[in-house]
A and B are shown apart, each in its own frame.
Chain A
Amino acid sequence: SAVISQKPSRDICQRGTSLTIQCQVDSQVTMMFWYRQQPGQSLTLIATANQGSEATYESGFVIDKFPISRPNLTFSTLTVSNMSPEDSSIYLCSVLRGKGYNEQFFGPGTRLTVL
């Protein structure tokens, strides 16, 4: 398995501000993923973050709203910009590990509430 930590674990933010979420993995991984889970919903992939290249965003998510950094193979950040109450969600980072790098592991999540 993988040990994945996220900071902060939760935050309450004001509308219009930005929050940067950090994800740290205990060993090097090629790909890191950022997911969003809105209240009462399942998870949706925001983007895939590869080291040394720009993140690949899924339909409905844009870099201006969710800029991502991937400075090395163990760390990534996701920023939620110009927040509105609709951004209130749990944000989770994820990596592929295991035999053949098939199994996906998730961090503990960051619970964001926007007032």
Chain B
Amino acid sequence: KQEVTQIPAALSVPEGENLVLNCSFTDSAIYNLQWFRQDPGKGLTSLLLIQSSQREQTSGRLNASLDKSSGRSTLYIAASQPGDSATYLCAVKENTDKLIFGTGTRLQVFP
């Protein structure tokens, strides 16, 4: 059974720092991996999608990498801003269309 874990569970940093959020999964037979952002009490915003054949994806200050063989993905946030404060979720998709979510990293960036 696929399990997805995110470390750290919470992170508080000053504005301007570069951050790395970690996601690990137990079964490397994934179809893709997706990173989401969730603001308190809100839905999910898709940030980056990495196909199983890809190693990384970039969007603005965000860069996500995927090492399928070791069951790991990282989300790198450059020059963090208070507006980046949110919970970040990673999710893997196996052969079905079901997403299996991690437990999330709650990020706070203070001015």
Query: Looking at the complex, which one of A42, A58, A98 makes contact with B49 (CB distance below 8 Å)?
Result: A98
* A96–B49 CA distance with the chains assembled, in angstroms: 12
The number of inter-chain residue pairs (CB within 8 angstroms) is 54
8 pairs, A vs B, C-beta closer than 8 Å: A31-B97, A42-B104, A102-B32, A102-B49, A102-B51, A104-B93, A106-B44, A108-B43
Q: Are A103 and B101 in contact (CB under 8 A)?
A: no
Query: A19: CB under 8 A from chain B?
Result: no
Chain B residues lying within 8 Å of A58, measured Cβ to Cβ, are 98
* A107–B51 CA distance with the chains assembled, in angstroms: 23
Q: Are A33 and B43 in contact (CB under 8 A)?
A: no
Q: Are B102 and A104 in contact (CB under 8 A)?
A: no
Query: A43: CB under 8 A from chain B?
Result: yes
* A96–B46 CA distance with the chains assembled, in angstroms: 11
* A105–B49 CA distance with the chains assembled, in angstroms: 11
Name the residue on A nearest B44 (C-beta). Answer: A106
Query: B28: CB under 8 A from chain A?
Result: no
Name the residue on B nearest A4 (C-beta). Answer: B43
Query: Looking at the complex, which one of B43, B99, B104 makes contact with A45 (CB distance below 8 Å)?
Result: B99
Q: How many residues of B contact A (CB 8 A)?
A: 22
Instruction: Name B27-58 residues within 8 Å CB distance of A.
Output: 31-32, 34, 36, 41-46, 49, 51
Q: Are B102 and A1 in contact (CB under 8 A)?
A: no
Q: Are B104 and A105 in contact (CB under 8 A)?
A: no
Query: A90: CB under 8 A from chain B?
Result: yes
Query: B66: CB under 8 A from chain A?
Result: no
Q: Are B41 and A111 in contact (CB under 8 A)?
A: yes
* A98–B32 CA distance with the chains assembled, in angstroms: 13
* A50–B101 CA distance with the chains assembled, in angstroms: 22
Query: Looking at the complex, which one of B42, B99, B103, B104 makes contact with A104 (CB distance below 8 Å)?
Result: B99
- Which has the most chain A C-beta neighbours within 10 Å: B34, B43, B97? B43
Interface string of A33-56 (1 = CB under 8 A from B): 100000000111100100000000
Query: B89: CB under 8 A from chain A?
Result: yes
